[in-house]
A = this chain, B = another copy of it.
């Protein structure tokens, strides 16, 4: 096995690909959805439960982990896989996004970013080199280059400056990365919603050379139309023999549309965060389990779902737990949502393999807009 990640395309259906990525900690079946394990835990789930949903890989957040428990500490304890008892592949983000969204008093310079910890207010510097070092200490199978997440909306000039800074940081990230078999580094295309900037960014990353290519800076408020337009102008400029990752996406319909456009990997807090606020994803669209209509409904949340929340309990119980803010409610709805997302990915993979993606997408869209099952009585 040579340094980097083996990636194989098994089947194609239009622009969509069925594939496999081989990492030091196992295989990732693509298209793949990565549950977010921010602080070394996919919130409200055991790693065994995460695996049961069908997830091959989870995501860890460099920003959170560097602050608590600390990358050097995780390394001394044997790495993130051992620390959190997740033996499968892990992708870590670079920390750039959370520095923008969570930290205070940021200062961005050519060298990197200085910010205040949202936990204790301490001043912390993050550079491309330090971000890559942290991800190495965590033992991430897939490391992301350090980038600046361009805000939305941004003028073309701002987006260009931001993207070019990220490209210089991408080169420094590549130089800092320690290549090993089964470990890979992904570059991140930036450029906002501007097709010329996206093209320029993709070319810059191809010149450097990465094990995979991510599309960053989307799902930040631009809406599905602009997101898909940006994918349409970006994906053709990414190498066909490398996996493609759409960061921070997203809603089921976003994922389906992005898979049709050739994206192989996704991550989003939506299934886990929604599980803690009573929003459930089902084959008939989203259901707010806290709605009073469910209070005496003993039927399953989603009769076609295999998860414990759907096979062992009725809506009335899930409604009760969620209204009472009981931890078990968060546990069950999170497991349901992650199961739904993994079943969606499995169905997409099956449709690509069978060459029936278009029919699947039609049926998916019809079911999603059909509305929830009618109330009883």
Contacts and interface: CB of A to CB of B under 8 A. Distances in A.
B308 A46 contact: yes
Contacts of A298: 77-78
A328 B58 CA distance: 16
B327 A331 contact: yes
A68 B321 CA distance: 10
A17 interface: no
A229 to B, nearest CB: 38
Contacts of A326: 39, 41, 43
B76 A296 contact: yes
Interface string A44-64: 111000000000000000000
Contacts of A296: 73, 76-77
Contact of A330 (B73, B316, B327): B327
Contacts of A323: 68
A281 interface: no
A239 interface: no
Contacts of A84: 313, 317
A107 interface: no
A85 B308 CA distance: 11
Nearest to A328: B41
A25 interface: no
Nearest to A41: B328
A151 interface: no
A320 B43 contact: no
B295 A46 contact: no
B43 A328 contact: yes
A83 interface: yes
A377 to B, nearest CB: 11
Contacts of A329: 41
Nearest to A332: B46
A134 interface: no
Interface in A297-351: 298, 308, 312-314, 316-317, 320-321, 323-324, 326-332
Contacts of A327: 41, 43-44, 327, 330-331
Contacts of A41: 321, 326-329
A295 B74 CA distance: 10
A331 B298 CA distance: 26
Given A44-B331, A68-B324, A77-B314, 9 more contacts: A40-B320, A43-B327, A44-B328, A46-B308, A46-B328, A68-B320, A83-B316, A83-B320, A85-B317
8 contacts: A39-B326, A41-B327, A41-B328, A41-B329, A43-B328, A68-B324, A73-B296, A327-B330
Task: Rank and list the top 4 A-B pairs by shortest CB-CB distance, nearest first.
Answer: A44-B327, A41-B328, A69-B320, A85-B312
